[in-house]
Amino acid sequence: MQAVIQAGGRGTRLSSVTKNVIPKPMVEIAGKPLLAWQMEELRANGFTDIILIVGYLGHVIQDDFGDGGRLGVRIRYIEERADEPLGTAGALAYLPPFLTGDTFAFVYADAFFSVDFERMMAFHREKGSAATLFVHPNSHSFDSDLVVLDEAGRVTAFDSKTNDRSSYDYENIVNAGVFLFSRSICDNVPIPRKCALEKDVLQSMLDHGAPVYGYRSTEYVKDAGTPERLAAVERDLTIGIPQKRNLKHPQKAIFLDRDGTLNRYVGLLTQPDELVLEDTVLEAVRAINASEYLAICCTNQPVVARGLCTIEDVNAIHRRLQTLLGRGGAYLDDIIYCPHHPDKGYPGENPAYKIDCNCRKPKTGMIDTMAERHHIDLAPSWMIGDTTRDIQTAKNAGMRSVLVRTGEAGNDRAFAVKAECEAETLMEGVQWILRRNE
């Protein structure tokens, strides 16, 4: 299989590291150039034919890697003029003579990744996609280009980081810089010209109805394009987080209740502006994000069945939750909720959701769905919540649990169960789990 690495940029954000004597893909992480890490990961996924697009100081890359023989790959080069860079997509015009198949991977040279490309390829083929973007939440969504997806995962819009987002909430879905493309994408750049992949090429494909999809994954793809982010990647690498987050391996998760755990308990929450984060939530979720655990919100929302909210209302509340977390440098890997309630007789109730489902906690339907979606091993995973219903859910799913003394603080007494730990705050509970894991 073939992969293309866009390595032609000047890397101005990393100039304090590169000193303008090496190109940004040659910055070292744990004693090895970032570009070498990328090519070794690609080779491990079966990509042995690699095309490098080089420009500024490109000879440094060519002198170091040559034909790729010492890495067990074949490398060929497309050279942009250093004084006339073509942006992130202009060199697509040069690709067709190099391509041997219908699909190729395309990655930005400042992305450190550990990804099961077989899963991503299966998604790409199942959707009949012309372009598939690896998308995920990240800790700096406020300065990232966001991707808007429909329920099937099809890209409907791009939300540029230059937009003023102060007046609206958003889903934390970020384009990570790893792609699968059909060779037909090159038709959008018939001659070499300076253009941007997202703004020009992919947006044009959306405008013309081409199938462009977002592949959502919790795997490790991090921007290493600033000194701070480069240092964070190196820290993660030294403790094995990139490899542990690869979906070739079972994952561990911390499932988080919403009302009373992540946000302050106000009874039946029906409006986004009613959502206020609990104390210590930002630091607690950031601690999970920096660990090998996934952070997944799992919540009962009977407000839909009661007729107090629509599904879109709940989604709007969750966009508010993601926005508040994102502003504080934290993110949830996923959110799942149950809109059902089995008891009938409420004024204005929605009969379509008045059912005895298998997803309402303490049943395990939501947990099981997340375990299948994210390849989660439940035995080493945890549930944190403020009610005995949450603790019973954990026991039913074969997980361990922490009861936080926020929200209802276990005073619901719905189930005669005891958690492995009781904590005053979410941060205290997360720290307790992480210490045990160490």
* Catalytic center residues: 257, 259
Tokens found for residue 390: 């949450």
Residue 58 CA to residue 80 CA, distance in Å, equals: 9
- Dihedral angle at the C-alpha atoms of 362, 366, 367, 371, nearest 10 degrees? 170
CB 132 within 8 A of CB 238: no
Is the bond preceding residue 362 a cis peptide, omega within 30 degrees?
yes
Pairing of strands 131-136, 111-114: unpaired
CB 4 within 8 A of CB 92: no
Tokens found for residue 264: 């302050």
Q: What is the 3-state secondary structure (H, E, C) of 170-192?
A: CCCCEEEEEEEEEHHHHHHCCCC
Q: Which residue has the tokens 């997360």?
A: 430
- Nearest to residue 114, comparing CAs of 99, 129, 136? 136
Question: What is the number of other CB atoms lying within 10 angstroms of the CB of residue 429?
Answer: 28
Element (H, E) at 403: strand 400-404
Tokens found for residue 381: 């995973």
Residue 277 CA to residue 318 CA, distance in Å, equals: 12
Q: Angle of helix 34-44 relative to helix 58-65, nearest 10 degrees?
A: 50
Residue 407 CA to residue 400 CA, distance in Å, equals: 20
CB 376 within 8 A of CB 356: no
Say which residues have a Cβ less than 8 Å from residue 431's Cβ, sequence separation at least 6: 287
- Nearest to residue 266, comparing CAs of 319, 310, 308? 308
